[in-house]
Amino acid sequence: MEIKYRLNKRTTDTVEKNGVTYLEYNIFKDFSIKTAVSTRLGGVSKGYVGTMNMSTSRGDDPLCVQNNHKLFADAVGYHGERLVMSDQIHETFILRVNEEDAGGMVIKRGVDGLMTNVKKLPLMTFYADCTPLMFYDKENEVIAMAHSGWRGTVEQIGKICIERMTEEYGTRPENTYVAIGPNICQDCYEVDEPLLKAFKESFGSAAFEWFKPSAREDHYLLDLSKACKYTLMQTGILEEHIAEPDLCTCCNPEFLFSHRASGAKRGNLSVVMEIS
């Protein structure tokens, strides 16, 4: 399958195991953690959620979703029987997950980010154009992830995640590594004037760098990745510790689920992280 819109070939590796295709992030390769982003390939779901849909919220057969989770866990090698997942609402709450939370496909409601320092406790969040942010604090061996759609990006969820990691674990930004996962690229993400104003109110003049005019009047093309990177660097995370995305979900609808490309008829991708 041809993959389009590749920005930085050094960012990710495409891995195929037992028929399951997923993405790994090279920035984490020297650490004792597992990180992976699922693709559409290698599952058992049918129709518009086919084949590797990871969510029960998209109209899929729950048994297919369960089978997909097992296939994904077996391929990546994380402890699926201890998985903790988020049920995202486009807010900024980051939940600390502990040993007592471990369980088969435990769902935490109203959560847009997860973090833990517990080994062999996998965390999972879900996407289909929004931006995945994956964090690793190498000093304190902490993992975290945050779901950054446009609302989360306006509210600077990346900053909030680092602040929560600092509060709970003593994380220092300069010792933290972050991967910005596959999301909708600027050329595909048209937004309106009120959204532009929301970004200007949150970020000031810096926001102008992330917008360019669209063909439609009073509409703009937004670069969510640049906005997320700006937020991360403002916390003190080093630029060389940030891996930028190299795949657009909307440009690759046969490889990755995209809400916009599918007209909302789609499954969900997942991001998983686990401390080994």
Q: What is the pLDDT of residues 93-135, one digit of tens each?
A: 999 999 999 998 899 999 999 999 999 999 999 999 999 999 9
| Fold held by 12-185+243-275 | CNF1/YfiH-like putative cysteine hydrolases (3.60.140)
Which string of DSSP letters, residue by residue, matches 232-274?
A: HHHTT--GGGEEPP--BTTT-TTTS--HHHHTT----EEEEEE
Which residue, among 69, 41, 42, has the nearest Cα to 55 in the 3D structure? 69
User: Above 90 in pLDDT, residue 140?
Assistant: yes
Is residue 166 within 8 A of residue 190, CB to CB? The reply is no
Beta bridge partners, 16, equal 21
Structure-token match 């866990």, residue found: 73
- Give the CA distances from residue 9 to residues 165, 238, 244, 246, in Å, rounded to whole numbers and listed in that order: 30, 20, 10, 7
Q: How confident is the model at residue 23, as a pLDDT?
A: 95
Which residue, among 19, 25, 18, 21, has the nearest Cα to 3 in the 3D structure? 21
Sheet strands side by side (includes 211-213): 190-192, 219-222, 211-213
Q: Is 153 helix (H, G, I), strand (E, B) or coil?
A: helix
Q: How confident is the model at residue 178, as a pLDDT?
A: 98
Is residue 61 within 8 A of residue 45, CB to CB? The reply is yes
How high is the mean pLDDT of the chain?
Answer: 95
d(CA 21, CA 38): 7
d(CA 184, CA 249): 5
Is residue 266 within 8 A of residue 250, CB to CB? The reply is no
The model's confidence at residue 4, banded by pLDDT at 50, 70 and 90, is low
pTM over 0.85: yes
The model's confidence at residue 37, banded by pLDDT at 50, 70 and 90, is very high
Neighbours of 100 (CB within 10 A): 7
Q: What element of type H or E holds 178?
A: strand 176-180
Is residue 135 within 8 A of residue 161, CB to CB? The reply is yes
Q: How confident is the model at residue 8, as a pLDDT?
A: 53
d(CA 6, CA 23): 13
Is residue 257 within 8 A of residue 267, CB to CB? The reply is yes
Q: What is the mean pLDDT of residues 164-187?
A: 97
